[in-house]
Amino acid sequence: MAERERLNTRQRGTVFVPKSQLLSPEEVQRAVRRMAHEILERNEDVSNLVIIGLQTGGICFADRLAAVIQEVSGVDVETGTLDVAFYRDDVTIRPVLESAETSVDADLADRVVLLVDDVLYTGRTIRAALNALADWGRPQAIQLAVMIDRGHRELPIRADYVGKNLPTSQEEAIDATLDGVWIGTLVKK
């Protein structure tokens, strides 16, 4: 296993230390492709879709889904990025997160928004994203695609499209990118 440290830009002062690889890049690509088909199946009018990747881990998956959907259906789906740092409900007990860019050009009224994130865990990030989207107008519907669902939900949030279900313990951490999925721990720098 290659020693790999990815600086976790979401939380200042921590580093992800991998323990073992759970999915290879090929397995990730297959899962994304499969999700893209599921999305197309469920959303007849794919041009009404707006794919929004959550900073920072969801961006690569959002882009990849948009690319596969374009390949399969020929439609160029509009994309955007959303940073939820300012919408978290636990801002007093969690570190002040380094904020990243938000860019949502499309008018979301009456559109179907597909939120995309790398890992679904407690559900608080998604809840924050829902709060943020509420400030952008009123989408017709919001769907959620995640690469990994690791359980331990603290809120009634569920994903519509899941790359892989991976039960984990709370001491563990998951790192998911297009280069693969690792399980490991978060260590203070």
Partner 1 sequence: MIESIAGGNLVSLATLSQRAIVEVLDTAESFVEVNSRTVKKVPALKGKVIASLFFEESTRTRLSFETAAKRLSADVLSLAVASSSVKKGESLRDTINTIDALGIDAVVMRHSSSGAPVQVSRYVPHVRVINAGDGQHQHPTQGLLDAFTVRQVLAARAGTSGRESGSELFAGLNVLIVGDIRHSRVARSDIEVYTRLGAHVTVAAPGTLLPPDIVQWPVTVANNFDEALATADVVGLLRLQKERGSGAFVPSLGEFTSTFGLTSRRAKLLRPETIIMHPGPMNRGVEIDSQVADSSAAVIEQQVRNGVPIRMAVLYLTTAGATLESGPND
Binding-site ranges for partner 1 (CB under 8 A): 8, 10-14, 57, 83, 85-88, 91-96, 98-103, 119-125, 131-132, 135-137, 170-174, 186, 188
Q: Which is nearer to partner 1, 39 or 120 (CB)?
A: 120
Sole residue written with tokens 């203070």: 188
Q: Which is nearer to partner 1, 5 or 172 (CB)?
A: 172
> Distance between CA atoms of 150 and 70, rounded to whole angstroms?
29
Our CB check for partner 1 shows the closer of 69 and 118 to be: 118
Q: Rounded to the nearest whole angstrom, what is the least distance from the CB of residue 122 to partner 1 in the complex?
A: 4
Least CB distance from residue 126 to partner 1, whole Å?
Answer: 9
Q: What letter would DSSP give residue 85? A: G
* C-alpha closest to that of 143 among 126, 163, 155: 126
Q: How far is the CB of 32 from partner 1 (least distance, A)?
A: 20
Return d(Cα 115, Cα 51) in angstroms, integer.
Answer: 6
Q: How near is the Cβ of 20 to partner 1 at its closest, in Å?
A: 17
125 versus 143: smaller Cβ distance to partner 1: 125
Q: Are 113 and 141 in contact (CB under 8 A)?
A: yes
CA pair distance 163, 183, nearest whole angstrom = 15
Nearer to partner 1, 86 or 140 (CB): 86
- Output the six-digit token pair for 187: 């260590």
For residue 87, give every residue at least 6 positions away whose Cβ sits within 8 Å of its Cβ, in sequence order, or none: 128, 129, 131, 132
Structure tokens of 81?
């990025």
